[in-house]
Amino acid sequence: MEAQAPLVRFCDNCYTRLQGDFCHQCGQEKKTYIRNVTGVVTEFLGEFSNWDGRLWRTLLPLWFWPGYLSLRYVKGHRAPYVPPLRLYLFTSIIAFLLFAKLLPETTVEVPTAESIALRQAITGEVAANLAAEGITKPASVAETGTAIPLLSAELNQQFQQKLTELAANPKLAINKFFSLAPQMMFLLLPLFALLLKLFYIRSNRFYTEHLIVALHSHSFILQISVLFVGLSTLAGAVTIPWAVTLIEWFAMLVLCWMPLYLLLCQKYYYQQRWGKTLLKFWLTSSCYNLLAVSALVGLIILSILWA
């Protein structure tokens, strides 16, 4: 009985003769996506289980081995781990959903038109009494109402109106804040990578190599922040004194691990002396914190205006 000749397969895209599952001409996989529901479900479960295995192989070094994942990735060890961008996007979505649920709802007192008018009346009376005694006092922002210097007069008026409207339901602004926060973080990522590129300009690394560090660092920051908020919420819900103390100590340990981790990440990844690492870490952190605080203030203003 003669053996059957192997089946010749061709690429569905460029019709090149295949030597495997992928076309060596255009790179397309020899795979059909038109199949029954059972095949789709089976493939989905297989992909999910594979991703889940890579997830745990990624999270453990991400939490405990600073800079390890970034260094492995740039050296070509990529298959065992979740890609940095996918890891960050997954972390960002889950983290901000949990922030919105875990952070306590606080009562926000915003100035109304009546309170502002009453305050101005009292301020005017005090100013008149001071003027009668020959004392002049410059007006402060608190006395003249909430005015944001960077906004125009029209936007300041809209801001005051929004504050008055949100007095009854500040949750609208909070929800808007958490809907915009992931986008703000995503915009800060390339800026952080740019800072690393500038301060480590002599490391002869490409910008994308610094971007890998930024993605892993931000993923770590978000995950540790979720853990800290979760521990703080748990401490407020527990009534046993020794358990509360234990949880608070653990939460403080988690909070202290964050800056130490980022410092060790730069030390391990860039392999420079401790003096240079400490100086560059301080410069990077200072510049990035300034950018982050500015972005946070702008985000709060936009959350109120767009709520």
Report the alpha-carbon distance of residue 193 to residue 85 in Å, rounded: 13
pTM of the predicted model as reported, rounded to 2 decimal places: 0.72
pLDDT tens, position by position, 55-84: 888 999 999 999 999 999 998 888 888 899
CA 120 to chain centre: 41
Q: What is the DSSP letter of 10?
A: B
Could you tell me the pLDDT band of residue 146, with boundaries at 50, 70 and 90? low
Of all residues in the chain, what percent carry a pLDDT higher than 70? 75
Judge contact between 122 and 143, C-beta under 8 A. Answer: no
Report the alpha-carbon distance of residue 179 to residue 292 in Å, rounded: 17
Could you tell me the pLDDT band of residue 247, with boundaries at 50, 70 and 90? very high
Give me the mean pLDDT over the 223-229 stretch.
Answer: 94
Report the alpha-carbon distance of residue 55 to residue 36 in Å, rounded: 29
- CA 131 vs CA 90, 122, 143: distances in Å: 61, 14, 17
pLDDT tens, position by position, 104-113: 655 445 455 5
pLDDT at 53: 72
Could you tell me the pLDDT band of residue 140, with boundaries at 50, 70 and 90? very low
Helix-then-strand count for the chain, H and E = 10, 0
pLDDT at 134: 57
Could you tell me the pLDDT band of residue 44, with boundaries at 50, 70 and 90? very low
Residue 131 burial by CB count (10 A; 0-12/13-18/19+): exposed, middle or buried? exposed
Give me the mean pLDDT over the 191-200 stretch.
Answer: 95
- CA 230 vs CA 37, 225, 250: distances in Å: 39, 8, 11
Structure tokens at 19: 């030597």
Give me the mean pLDDT over the 26-33 stretch.
Answer: 72
Q: How many CB atoms lie within 10 A of CB 231?
A: 20
**Phi, psi of 222, deg, nearest 5:** -65, -45
107 or 174, which is more confident?
174
Structure tokens at 94: 């889950």
Can you tell me whether residue 113 is helix, strand or coil?
helix
Rg of the chain over Cα atoms, rounded to whole angstroms, equals: 28
pLDDT at 17: 84
Structure tokens at 199: 């301060």
Could you tell me the pLDDT band of residue 115, with boundaries at 50, 70 and 90? low
Give me the mean pLDDT over the 91-97 stretch.
Answer: 91
